[in-house]
Structure 1
Amino acid sequence: MDINKLIASRVLALRDRRGLSLTALAERSGVSRSNISLIERGESSATATVLDKLAGALGVTLAALFEAEEGEPVPSPLQRAAGQPVWTDPASGYVRRQLSPSVRSPLQLVEVVFPPGQRVSYEQVVREADVHQQVWLLEGVMDISAGGQQWRLEAGDCLAIREDQHISYFNPGEQAARYLVGLVTLPFA
């Protein structure tokens, strides 16, 4: 399935499930009604920042927008490399590969290739679950800030952060950075 069509169907299904109109989702997310409509029709490739705003307003993680919809045939527990959804952020050019199978699991693995000199920031959003992530840098260098703290990661370094705060990713290097993100979603106690 085309990645924009997958995102389109997930955003629409999540909005319908929550009983939100386009206008209500626009108000909750800060994304224009017309932009959401284009995304839901698969006619727009939204930026990472826009998708994060929509995910937050829908009460899910960004990774949830790349999963198969509930009610589809039971997915295989195996996700072959050729079938892993790949999405490119049109603003920064970072490439996101969903490594994990579409089975419902609290753990999601994502590979990211982040171009040099690029930055992506995610706002603090209220989610329906507690989301933890670990970033394991495989190649290159990345500056990551979360809340009031900042770290420079080099190849082999691993950083654990929560998604309940403003997070910014920046590649200050001259080559692409490649890293693995492990996301764990826990229900609030």
Structure 2
Amino acid sequence: MGIDAALAARLAALRAEHGWSLDDLAQRSDISRSALSRFERAEISPTAAQLGRLCTAYGRTMSRLLAEVEAEPPQLLRAGEQAVWRDEASGFVRRSVSPPHAGLRGELIEGRLEPGAVIDYDAPPVPGLEQHIWVLDGRVEITVQGEPQPLGPGDCLRFRLWGPSRFHCPGPDPVRYAVAIVLP
């Protein structure tokens, strides 16, 4: 089963575990009932922003949700073995460098945004989620708690996330960054 089909099955299972109808989840996530149904049938894949809203509804990080659809990760992940997820609509590419693992509270991801790409997250998947974002190449503007922070190569932004956030790649080149996530 591919990652998109596994994600669809996990989304359907999560909704069933919570005892929610599609209408209930639509209200909680602000995503249309029809889109949710299509996600669960693997007819379409959610965008990064939509997946963020679903993670918020289910109280999970995006990494945790994606790890739930992957096999148990080994201790060592070679670059070619790391799971990659793409949101073609926003130009976001997410590599799970160090996925969630039993007994560990942290994870490491690599993000890449194309010039002009914007991703808005309405709320953190877990309130108080600690993040450390280190820009490797390019430029990005990250807005946390209403404060835009322009970042360039080598800059690091660290915070606990309590509200909405926004990632914007102003260009002219793509941005590549590492995100360290520590669960509260």
Normalising by the residue count of structure 1, what TM-score does the alignment of the two structures yield? 0.87
Contact preservation (8 Å) 1:78, 1:101: no
Q: CA deviation at 1:172?
A: 1.1
Instruction: Provide runs of 4+ in structure 1 moved above 6 Å.
Output: none
Query: Residue 50 of structure 1 corresponds to which residue in structure 2?
Result: 50
Q: Deviations over 1:64-111 (max 9, x none)?
A: 221135xx9754223232332211112211111111245233211111
Q: How many Å separate the matches in 1 of 2:28 and 2:96?
A: 26
User: Residue 30 of structure 1 aligns with which residue?
Assistant: 30
User: In structure 2, do the counterparts of structure 1 residues 43 and 80 end up closer, same or farther at CA, with 3 Å as the change threshold?
Assistant: farther
Instruction: Sort the Cα spacing of 1:114 and 1:75 in 2 relative to 1 into closer, same or farther, 3 A.
Output: closer
1:58 CA drift (Å): 1.1
Task: Give, in whole Å, the separation in 1 of the partners of 2:169 and 2:72.
Answer: 38
Q: Which residue of 2 aligns with 1:114?
A: 113
Counterpart-to-counterpart distance in 1, 2:31 and 2:98: 28
Gapped runs of 5+ residues in structure 1?
Answer: none
TM-score by length of 2: 0.89
In structure 2, the residue matched to 1:81 is: 79
Q: CA deviation at 1:28?
A: 0.8
2:135–2:178: 8 Å Cα contact kept in structure 1?
yes
Q: Verify the 8 A CA contact 1:6 1:66 in the aligned structure 2.
A: no
SS at match of 1:151: strand
Q: Secondary structure at the match of 1:60?
A: coil
Query: Partners of 2:98 and 2:13 in 1: how far apart?
Result: 21
- Write the distance in 2 (CA, Å) between the matches of 1:125 and 1:113: 19
Structure 1: distance between partners of 2:76 and 2:17: 28
Q: Which secondary structure state, in structure 1, belongs to the residue aligned with residue 128 of structure 2?
A: strand
In the alignment of these two chains, the number of paired residues is: 183
Task: Report the Cα offset of residue 113 of structure 1.
Answer: 1.1
RMSD: 2.0
Q: Deviations over 1:97-147 (max 9, x none)?
A: 1112452332111111110111111112573x5311111000001111111
Change beyond 3 A, Cα 1:57–1:101: closer
Q: Unaligned 5+ residue runs, structure 2?
A: none
| AA partner of residue 81 (structure 1) | A
SS in 2 for 1:27: helix
Identity %: 38
